[in-house]
Amino acid sequence: MNLAPSPRGAALRDRVAAFFANRILPRHWEWLGAVAAGPGTPALARSLREEARAAGLWNLALPSALPNLDFAPLAENMGRLPWASEVFNCHAPDVPNMIMLEHAATADQRRRFLDPLLDGRVRSCFAMTEPAVASSDARNISASIRADGDSWVVDGRKWYITGAAHPDCAFAIVVGVSRPDAPRDGRHSCVIVPMNAPGVRVVRTQRFLGWDDHVAPIAELVFDSVRVPRENLLGEEGGGFRAAQVRLGPARLHHCMRTLGACEVLIELMLARASERRAFDRALVDYDSTQVAIARSRIEIEQARLLVLRAASALDTAGHAGAWREVAMIKVAVPEMAQRVADRALQLFGAMGGSDDTPIHHTYAMARLLRIADGPDEVHLRQVFRTEPPPSRSLEESPYLGAPASARE
Q: Which of residues 281-310 bind a copy of itself (CB under 8 A)?
A: 284, 287-289, 291-292, 294-296, 298-299, 302-304, 306-307, 310
CB of 225 to a copy of itself, least distance (A): 16
Find the binding residues for a copy of itself in span 61-80 (CB under 8 A): 80
CB of 237 to a copy of itself, least distance (A): 25
Q: Check: CB of residue 162 under 8 Å from CB of residue 218.
A: yes
Q: Check: CB of residue 155 under 8 Å from CB of residue 135.
A: no
User: Which range in 38-46, 53-61, 208-216, 236-244 contacts a copy of itself by CB under 8 A?
Assistant: 208-216
Q: Rounded CA gap, 177 and 166, in Å?
A: 26
CB of 107 to a copy of itself, least distance (A): 35
CB of 343 to a copy of itself, least distance (A): 8
User: Which range in 8-16, 144-152, 251-259, 353-361 contacts a copy of itself by CB under 8 A?
Assistant: 353-361
CB of 121 to a copy of itself, least distance (A): 29
Q: Check: CB of residue 73 under 8 Å from CB of residue 5.
A: yes
CB of 279 to a copy of itself, least distance (A): 4
Work out whether 10 is an interface residue with a copy of itself (CB under 8 A).
no
Q: Which is nearer to a copy of itself, 236 or 378 (CB)?
A: 378
CB of 216 to a copy of itself, least distance (A): 14
Q: Which helix (H) or strand (E) holds 266?
A: helix 240-276
Work out whether 280 is an interface residue with a copy of itself (CB under 8 A).
yes
Q: Rounded CA gap, 92 and 251, in Å?
A: 7
User: Which range in 114-122, 172-180, 251-259, 380-388 contacts a copy of itself by CB under 8 A?
Assistant: 380-388
Q: Rounded CA gap, 94 and 171, in Å?
A: 11
Q: Which is nearer to a copy of itself, 71 or 211 (CB)?
A: 211
3-state secondary structure 309-377: HHHHHHHHHHHHHHHHHHHHHHHHHHHHHHHHHHHHHHHHHCHHHHCCCCCHHHHHHHHHHHCCCCCCH
The torsion angles phi and psi of 147, rounded to 5 degrees, stand at -75, 135
DSSP-assigned letters across all residues of 54-96:
HTT-SSTTSTTTS-HHHHHHHHHHHTTSTTHHHHTT--TTHHH
Q: Which is nearer to a copy of itself, 63 or 82 (CB)?
A: 82
User: Which range in 90-98, 99-107, 173-181, 370-378 contacts a copy of itself by CB under 8 A?
Assistant: 370-378
CB of 139 to a copy of itself, least distance (A): 9
Find the binding residues for a copy of itself in span 159-188 (CB under 8 A): 159-160
Q: Rounded CA gap, 126 and 135, in Å?
A: 13
Query: What distance, in Å, lies between the first and last C-alpha atoms of the chain?
Result: 48
Among 68, 89, 109, 135, binds a copy of itself (CB under 8 A): 135
Among 4, 18, 182, 318, binds a copy of itself (CB under 8 A): 4
Work out whether 322 is an interface residue with a copy of itself (CB under 8 A).
no
Q: Which is nearer to a copy of itself, 23 or 103 (CB)?
A: 23
User: Which range in 28-36, 48-56, 107-115, 240-248 contacts a copy of itself by CB under 8 A?
Assistant: 28-36
Work out whether 332 is an interface residue with a copy of itself (CB under 8 A).
yes
Work out whether 11 is an interface residue with a copy of itself (CB under 8 A).
no
Q: Check: CB of residue 19 under 8 Å from CB of residue 52.
A: yes
Find the binding residues for a copy of itself in span 240-269 (CB under 8 A): 265, 267-269
Q: Rounded CA gap, 206 and 218, in Å?
A: 5
CB of 212 to a copy of itself, least distance (A): 8
Q: Rounded CA gap, 405 and 409, in Å?
A: 8
Q: Which is nearer to a copy of itself, 105 or 174 (CB)?
A: 174
Question: If we measure between CA atoms, which residue out of 358, 331, 338 comes closest to residue 259?
Answer: 338
Find the binding residues for a copy of itself in span 33-62 (CB under 8 A): none
- Say what the alpha-carbon torsion angle 67, 68, 69, 73 is, to the nearest 10 degrees: 110
- Say what the alpha-carbon torsion angle 137, 143, 149, 150 is, to the nearest 10 degrees: -80
